[in-house]
């Protein structure tokens, strides 16, 4: 089947184009925010604190966001979350341009952005299947990841140039305007062309969604692996910032370039993933996480900036192939009646460890050094993936039926036996 087959859906084409610009803005702001924090505080610890504030809402409200995704019109929910993101970005950009920015402003608006993302992320994930249908979902996830990583390729470098020429403010303004493009695209979605699966409106509580997930060893294995890999391995806003500045003593432009270099591998991984639809199972995810962790550890020993930069695309490639497989598997193996709630749990696992780990990782870079910190984080991620693999490698098959009633009934019968 065609690698680009999701483009036959008009709604997908509209959102893909808008998200292309928005993804560039998102990555541009990420680089600018890290650089702005260093300008205001000259502290790796504050990098960790702001990162924690931005991702803390996912930890506490991500599952509630999944419930919202199941109960309300997803297009309208996404309109509100993108307006929240635009407000946050434009506010910080304006304060920087007026030379009134303070660290507490950055903290507050990072938290506001995180609140929007706590609802946006599970809603957007579960909206994908309505845009293209179940048959084209794996392809759409791969193409969306390609889109995301093109933004990751272009955004950091563009932001580095903007910071060097004009300061950090214009990167925030760029991102704020890009959110408005997504809002316009959402207004132009044809709801009659959406693939909305017919099912009874679920009154299931989040607690019951946890019961569903806990009865699925294939999903549990993926979520455990992803939690440790993302919490300790995907901290490149801290790793790249501190390696570029504290270890290699580089400028804003060279720091921004590292983000674009990492994205070369991520983009390649996303493109390859669009053709690896049959490889999406727990064993593939666990092996990928172990390999990702090993290369991350190797990067901590890079003797110079060039060597570190060469390793980043390899890390990015492995990470994207692994996490796209995890995301797609969870979506496809979940009952549509509670897909939003399950994706809320998954995204809480994917991002929820960040507010816990990031302040600690930021502190470690200050107290132990950046290289030792990266080595320790890679070792934790590898050990966790290896332990999960040893326990779940023979329990990764999907059940015959993923319906809530069937899964919970089978789990109850197993307990009775």
pLDDT digits (tens, 9 = 90+) for 357-387: 888 888 898 889 999 999 999 999 999 999 9
What value does the mean pLDDT take over residues 91-97?
95
* pLDDT value of position 303: 94
pLDDT confidence bin for 250, thresholds 50/70/90: confident
pLDDT confidence bin for 405, thresholds 50/70/90: confident
- Which of the pair, 301 or 275, is modelled with greater confidence? 301
Q: What is the mean pLDDT of the chain?
A: 86
pLDDT confidence bin for 226, thresholds 50/70/90: very high
Range of the domain at 48: 5-195+204-416
pLDDT at residue 156 tops 70:
yes
Which of 85-94, 185-194, 387-396 shows the highest mean pLDDT?
85-94
336's CB contacts (< 8 A; 6+ apart) are 129, 197, 199
- Which of the pair, 16 or 351, is modelled with greater confidence? 16
Q: Give the CATH number, domain containing residue 298.
A: 1.20.1250.20
pLDDT at residue 200 tops 60:
no
* Best CA proximity match to 136, nearest among 257, 4, 234, 25: 4
* pLDDT value of position 357: 85
Q: Give 106-112 contacts, CB < 8 A, sequence gap 24+.
A: 106/33, 106/36, 106/37, 106/40, 106/50, 107/49, 107/50, 107/53, 110/33, 110/50, 110/51, 110/53, 110/54, 111/53, 111/54, 111/56, 111/57, 112/84, 112/87, 112/88
339's CB contacts (< 8 A; 6+ apart) are 70, 126, 129, 331
* Number of domains comprising the chain: 1
Share of the chain above pLDDT 70, in %: 93
- Which of the pair, 269 or 20, is modelled with greater confidence? 20
* pLDDT value of position 84: 93
What value does the mean pLDDT take over residues 276-285?
78
What value does the mean pLDDT take over residues 334-357?
79
Q: 31-70, pLDDT tens digit by residue?
A: 899 899 989 998 778 888 888 888 888 777 767 777 787 7
Rounded CA gap, 410 and 269, in Å? 37
Rounded CA gap, 368 and 371, in Å? 8
What letters, b where the CB count within 10 A reaches 16 and e where it falls short, cover 389-414? Answer: beebeeebeeeeebbbeebeeebeee
pLDDT at residue 300 tops 80:
yes
* pLDDT value of position 415: 56
| Phi then psi dihedrals of residue 51, to 5 deg | -60, -40
């Amino acid at each position: 089947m065609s690698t680009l087959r999701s483009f036959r859906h008009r709604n997908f084409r509209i959102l893909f184009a808008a998200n292309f610009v928005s993804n560039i803005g998102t990555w541009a702001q990420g680089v600018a925010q890290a650089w702005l924090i260093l300008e205001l505080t000259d502290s790796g610890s504050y990098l960790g604190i702001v990162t924690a504030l931005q991702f803390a809402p996912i930890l506490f409200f991500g599952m509630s966001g999944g419930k919202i995704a199941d109960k309300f019109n997803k297009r309208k929910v996404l309109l509100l979350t993108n307006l929240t993101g635009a407000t946050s970005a434009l506010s910080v950009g304006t304060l920087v341009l007026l030379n009134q920015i303070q660290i507490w402003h950055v903290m507050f608006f990072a938290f506001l952005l995180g609140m929007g993302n706590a609802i946006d992320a599970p809603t957007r994930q579960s909206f994908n299947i309505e845009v293209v249908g179940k048959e084209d979902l794996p392809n759409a996830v791969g193409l969306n990841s390609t889109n995301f990583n093109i933004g990751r390729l272009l955004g950091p470098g563009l932001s580095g140039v903007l910071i060097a020429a004009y300061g950090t403010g214009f990167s925030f303004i760029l991102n704020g305007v890009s959110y408005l493009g997504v809002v316009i695209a959402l207004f132009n979605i044809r709801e009659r062309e959406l693939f909305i699966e017919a099912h009874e409106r679920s009154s299931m509580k989040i607690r019951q969604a946890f019961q569903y997930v806990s009865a699925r060893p294939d999903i549990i294995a993926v979520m455990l692996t992803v939690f440790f890999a993302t919490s300790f391995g995907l901290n490149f806003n801290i790793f790249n910032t501190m390696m570029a500045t504290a270890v290699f003593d580089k400028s804003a432009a060279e720091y921004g370039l590292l983000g674009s270099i990492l994205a070369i591998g991520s983009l390649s991984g996303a493109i390859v993933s669009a053709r690896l639809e049959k490889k999406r199972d727990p064993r593939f995810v666990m092996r990928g996480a172990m390999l990702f962790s090993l290369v991350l550890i190797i990067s901590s020993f890079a003797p110079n900036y060039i060597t570190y930069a060469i390793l980043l695309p390899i890390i990015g490639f492995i990470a994207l192939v692994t996490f796209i497989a995890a995301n797609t598997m969870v979506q496809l193996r979940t009952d549509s009646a509670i897909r939003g709630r399950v994706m809320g749990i998954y995204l809480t696992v994917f991002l929820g460890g960040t507010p816990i780990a990031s302040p600690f990782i930021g502190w470690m870079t200050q107290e132990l050094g950046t290289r030792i910190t990266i080595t320790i984080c890679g070792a934790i991620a590898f050990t966790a993936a290896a332990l999960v693999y040893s326990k779940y490698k023979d329990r990764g098959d999907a059940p015959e039926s993923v319906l809530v009633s069937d899964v919970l009934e089978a789990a109850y019968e197993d307990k009775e036996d």
